[in-house]
Structure 1
Amino acid sequence: SCNNLQHPDWGKTDSCLRRVLSPAYADGVSKPRRACDGSKLPSARLISTTLHEEKNRTHGNLTHLAMIFGQFLTHDITFVSFAPLSHIEFELGTGPFHLCEDDEPECIPIDVPENDTFYSGYNIRSLTILRSLYCPICDNGYRDQMNSRTSYLDLSHLYGINWDIQASMRRFNRGLLISQEVMGAELPSDSPFPYVDNCSLPKNKCAWAGDLRATQHIGLLSMQTLWLRQHNRIAKNLSALNPSWDDEKLFQVTRRICEAIYQNIVFGEWLPLMLGTEKMEKFQLNPKTDNYTEYNDSADATVTNEFSAAAFRFGHSQADGRFWRIGKTTEWIEPANLSTGYFVPHNNSEGIHDDVLRGSLKQPMQDFDRYGDNGVTQNLFRQSYLEYGSDLFATDIQRGRDHGLRPYVDYVEYCQNVTLKDFDSMKTFMAEENVTDIFKVLYKNVTDVDLFSGGLSEKPIQGAQVGQTFACIIAEVFHRLKFGDRFYYEHGNQSGSFTQEQLQSIRNVTLASVYCNNIKGLMCIQKNVFLQEGSSTVVACSEIADVNLSLWKEDTDSAAQEK
Structure 2
Amino acid sequence: MNALPDGIRACRLFEKLPVRPLRRQRERANAVLPKTVRRKLCAEKLGSRILLAADFRHNFFQPEDVNDDGKVSPSDALAVINAMSGVQFSASTMYTDVDNNGEESPLDALMVINRLALDSELATGNDASDLIDQMPSLGFSFRTYDGSDNNATNPLWGSAGTEFRRNVDAAYADSIGSPTGTSRPSPREISNTLSAEFESGTPSRRSLSPFVYVWGQFLDHDITLSGEPGPEDFHESFDIKIPTDDVWFNPMGRTDVTMPFTRSAAAPGSGTSSEKPRQQINEITSFIDGSQIYGSNKAVADSLREFVGGRLLIRENGLLPVDEMNQIMAGDKRAAENIGLTAMHTLFVREHNRIAKQLAEENPSLDDEELYQCARAIVTAELQSITYNEFLPALLGTRGIKPYLGYSPEVDPTITNEFATAAFRFGHSAINRQIRFIGNDGHSTAEAVSLTDAFFNPSILDEAGIDEILKFDASTVSMEIDLEVIDPLRNFLFGPPGAGGLDLVSLNIQRGRDHGIADYNQLRVAYGLPAVTGFAEITSDVELQVKLESLYHSVDDIDAWVGIMAEDHRYGASVGELASRIIADQFRRLREGDRSYYENVFSRSDIRMIERTTLADIIERNTDVTGLQTNVFFFRSELSGTVSSQSDSLREGLQVILLDSQGEFIADVQTDASGVYRFDSFPSTGSYKVILSATDTAHEVNISTGNLRFQGLDFEIA
* 1:417-440 Cα distance to aligned partner (Å, 9 max, x none): 42334xxx1312315133121112
User: Given that residues 16 and 146 in structure 1 are in contact (C-alpha distance below 8 angstroms), is that contact kept between their aligned partners in structure 2?
Assistant: yes
1:230 and 2:351 matched? yes
Unaligned 5+ runs, structure 1 = 88-103, 195-204, 286-292, 492-496, 540-563
1:126 and 2:258 matched? yes
Q: TM-score by structure 2 length?
A: 0.65
User: Given that residues 217 and 342 in structure 1 are in contact (C-alpha distance below 8 angstroms), is that contact kept between their aligned partners in structure 2?
Assistant: yes
The structural deviation recorded for 1:153 is 0.2
SS at match of 1:181: coil
Aligned to 2:523: 411
Q: Work out the CA distance in 2 between the residues paired with 1:137 and 1:471.
A: 33
Residue correspondence of structure 1 range 13-92 to structure 2 within 5 A? 13-34=160-181, 40-55=183-198, 56-60=201-205, 61-85=207-231
Aligned to 2:603: 499
User: Given that residues 338 and 458 in structure 2 are in contact (C-alpha distance below 8 angstroms), is that contact kept between their aligned partners in structure 1?
Assistant: no
User: Given that residues 637 and 707 in structure 2 are in contact (C-alpha distance below 8 angstroms), is that contact kept between their aligned partners in structure 1?
Assistant: yes
* 1:29-71 Cα distance to aligned partner (Å, 9 max, x none): 0001135xxxx32100100110111131111411112210111
Residue correspondence of structure 1 range 57-456 to structure 2 within 5 A? 57-60=202-205, 61-85=207-231, 106-121=236-251, 125-136=257-268, 140-182=275-317, 186-192=318-324, 194=325, 205-281=326-402, 284=403, 293-327=405-439, 330-332=442-444, 333-382=446-495, 389-421=501-533, 425-456=534-565
The amino acid that maps onto 2:249 is Y
The amino acid that maps onto 2:214 is I
SS at match of 2:412: coil
* 1:71-103 Cα distance to aligned partner (Å, 9 max, x none): 10111100001124599xxxxxxxxxxxxxxxx
User: Given that residues 319 and 373 in structure 1 are in contact (C-alpha distance below 8 angstroms), is that contact kept between their aligned partners in structure 2?
Assistant: yes
The structural deviation recorded for 1:449 is 0.9
User: Given that residues 217 and 347 in structure 1 are in contact (C-alpha distance below 8 angstroms), is that contact kept between their aligned partners in structure 2?
Assistant: no
The structural deviation recorded for 1:340 is 2.2
The amino acid that maps onto 1:410 is Q
User: Given that residues 493 and 503 in structure 2 are in contact (C-alpha distance below 8 angstroms), is that contact kept between their aligned partners in structure 1?
Assistant: yes
The amino acid that maps onto 1:532 is F
Q: Work out the CA distance in 1 between the residues paired with 2:513 and 2:181.
A: 9
SS at match of 2:361: helix
- Decide whether aligned partners of structure 1 residues 86 and 171 sit closer, same or farther in structure 2, where only a CA change above 3 A counts: same
SS at match of 2:447: strand
Aligned to 2:656: none
The structural deviation recorded for 1:348 is 3.7
User: Looking at both structures, which has the greater relative contact order when contacts are Cα pairs under 8 Å and sequence separation is at least 6?
Assistant: 1
The structural deviation recorded for 1:345 is 4.3
SS at match of 1:325: strand
The amino acid that maps onto 1:133 is A
1:526 and 2:629 matched? yes
Q: TM-score by structure 1 length?
A: 0.82
Q: Work out the CA distance in 1 between the residues paired with 2:441 and 2:463.
A: 16
Q: Work out the CA distance in 2 between the residues paired with 1:470 and 1:504.
A: 30
The structural deviation recorded for 1:107 is 1.2
Unaligned 5+ runs, structure 2 = 1-147, 639-705, 710-718
User: Given that residues 188 and 348 in structure 1 are in contact (C-alpha distance below 8 angstroms), is that contact kept between their aligned partners in structure 2?
Assistant: no
SS at match of 1:336: strand
The amino acid that maps onto 1:482 is R
Q: Work out the CA distance in 1 between the residues paired with 2:401 and 2:563.
A: 23
Identity rate, percent: 34
- Decide whether aligned partners of structure 1 residues 313 and 456 sit closer, same or farther in structure 2, where only a CA change above 3 A counts: same
* 1:103-142 Cα distance to aligned partner (Å, 9 max, x none): x971110000111021123778111111111112668510
SS at match of 2:400: helix
Structure with the bigger percentage of helix: 1
Aligned to 1:98: none
The amino acid that maps onto 1:474 is I
Q: Work out the CA distance in 2 between the residues paired with 1:364 and 1:405.
A: 32
Q: Highest CA radius of gyration, 1 or 2?
A: 2
Q: Work out the CA distance in 1 between the residues paired with 2:447 and 2:528.
A: 46
- Decide whether aligned partners of structure 1 residues 345 and 514 sit closer, same or farther in structure 2, where only a CA change above 3 A counts: closer
Question: How many residues are treated as equivalent by the alignment?
Answer: 486
Aligned to 1:544: none
* 1:222-258 Cα distance to aligned partner (Å, 9 max, x none): 1111111111111111111111110000000000000
Q: Work out the CA distance in 2 between the residues paired with 1:230 and 1:16.
A: 32
| Structural RMSD (CA) | 2.2
User: Given that residues 217 and 341 in structure 2 are in contact (C-alpha distance below 8 angstroms), is that contact kept between their aligned partners in structure 1?
Assistant: yes
